[in-house]
Amino acid sequence: MPALEIIAVVAGSLVAVLAVWAMLLPIVAWFSGWRLLAEQFAAAPGTRGRLVLGNAAMRYGAHYSGIILLDCLPAGLVLSVRKPFRLAHPPLLIPWSQVEAEPTKLLWILPATRLDLGRDAHVPLIFYSSEAREWVDPYLGASGEPHTTSLA
């Protein structure tokens, strides 16, 4: 096979993979509830989380393992995703009044945290990171109302 044909096949394959990626990410954003949250709680461009959530799942079991970044600010919960996944996933800033936390377990054994995001949307975010739970806890009272404590 001549070199030019090899280059054409590789370039065509790369374009195909990128096209599938560009079609898949908006579907995942819609399916998981990220798009619904972004309509109400889009953050300023460039807003990024600092803590990687590790294993996390959203609505309908959409997994975001190792790509969601979380931060806690007095204004609310910041969620963003890592670079290759940002298409159709703008950063979010969800006010604490729109976040409810509930401890739960995976398979009745592993401790996890379920956040219900957006009181109208009720989009779940389930994660297993105890560090992330420690970041979120000071901002949420027992009733889900925000505390004024700063983690900074």
Name the β-bridge partners of 116.
Answer: 100, 124
Query: Chain-centre distance of CA 125, in angstroms?
Result: 8
82 belongs to a structural domain = yes
CA 150, CA 135: separation in Å to the nearest integer? 10
144 belongs to a structural domain = no
66 belongs to a structural domain = yes
Q: Residue-wise pLDDT tens for the chain (152 aa)?
A: 688 888 878 778 787 777 776 767 677 678 888 888 999 998 888 888 887 777 888 888 788 888 888 899 999 999 999 888 878 889 999 999 999 888 887 777 888 888 999 988 889 898 887 788 888 888 886 444 444 333 33
How many domains would you assign to the chain? 1
111 belongs to a structural domain = yes
124 belongs to a structural domain = yes
Q: What CATH number did the domain enclosing 60 receive?
A: 2.30.29
Side chain identity, residue 109: I
- HSE-up of 41 (CA within 13 Å, CB side)? 27
37 belongs to a structural domain = yes
148 belongs to a structural domain = no
CA 57, CA 125: separation in Å to the nearest integer? 6
CA 124, CA 79: separation in Å to the nearest integer? 13
Instruction: Give the residue numbers spanning the domain of 38.
Output: 32-139
91 belongs to a structural domain = yes
CA 128, CA 94: separation in Å to the nearest integer? 20
Which residues have a Cβ under 8 Å from the Cβ of 91 and sit 6 or more positions away?
A: 42, 43, 44, 45, 46, 47, 48, 49, 78, 79, 80
